Amino acid sequence: MTIKIYSDYKRYAVSEMKDRAQSFYNDLKRRRSVRDFSDEMVERSIIEDCIRTAGTAPSGANLQPWQFVAVSNPKIKMEIRKAAEKEEHAFYHGRASGEWLDDLKSFATNEHKPFLESAPWLIGIFEKRYGLTEEGGKKKHYYVSESVGIATGMLITAIHNAGLVCLTHTPSPMKFLNQILERPVNEKPFLLLVVGYPAEGVKVPDNQRKVLNEIVTFI
Ligand code: IYR
Q: What is the pLDDT of residues 76-86, one digit of tens each?
A: 999 999 999 99
Output the pLDDT for position 136.
86
Contact present, 130 and 61 (Cβ < 8 Å): no
Q: Taking residues 30-51, report their average pLDDT.
A: 98
Output the pLDDT for position 35.
96
Output the pLDDT for position 106.
87
Q: Taking residues 38-59, report their average pLDDT.
A: 99
Q: Taking residues 197-201, report their average pLDDT.
A: 98
Whether 90 lines ligand 1, by a CB cut-off of 6 Å, is no
Whether 63 lines ligand 1, by a CB cut-off of 6 Å, is no
Whether 73 lines ligand 1, by a CB cut-off of 6 Å, is no
Output the pLDDT for position 109.
93
> Quick check: pTM over 0.85?
yes
**Whole-angstrom distance between the N-terminal and C-terminal Cα of the chain?**
38
Q: Which alpha helices (DSSP H) does 29-162 contain, by range?
A: 44-54, 74-90, 98-104, 115-118, 144-162
Distance 209 CA to ligand 1 centre (A): 18
Measured from the Cα of 109, ligand 1's closest atom is 14
Going by alpha carbons, the residue nearest to atom 10 of ligand 1 is 104
Q: Taking residues 189-210, report their average pLDDT.
A: 97
Output the pLDDT for position 1.
79
Nearest to 37 by CA among 120, 158, 106, 123: 120
Distance 25 CA to ligand 1 centre (A): 26
Distance 166 CA to ligand 1 centre (A): 14
| Structural domains present in the chain | 32-199 (3.40.109.10)
> Any residues with CB less than 8 A from the CB of 51 and at least 6 apart, and which?
68, 70, 123, 155
Q: What is the pLDDT of residues 101-146, one digit of tens each?
A: 999 998 889 999 999 999 999 999 999 999 999 998 999 999 999 9
The alpha carbon of residue 81 and the mean position of all alpha carbons in its chain are separated, in whole angstroms, by 17
Mean model confidence pLDDT for the chain: 97
Whether 170 lines ligand 1, by a CB cut-off of 6 Å, is yes
Nearest to 162 by CA among 192, 202, 121, 118: 121
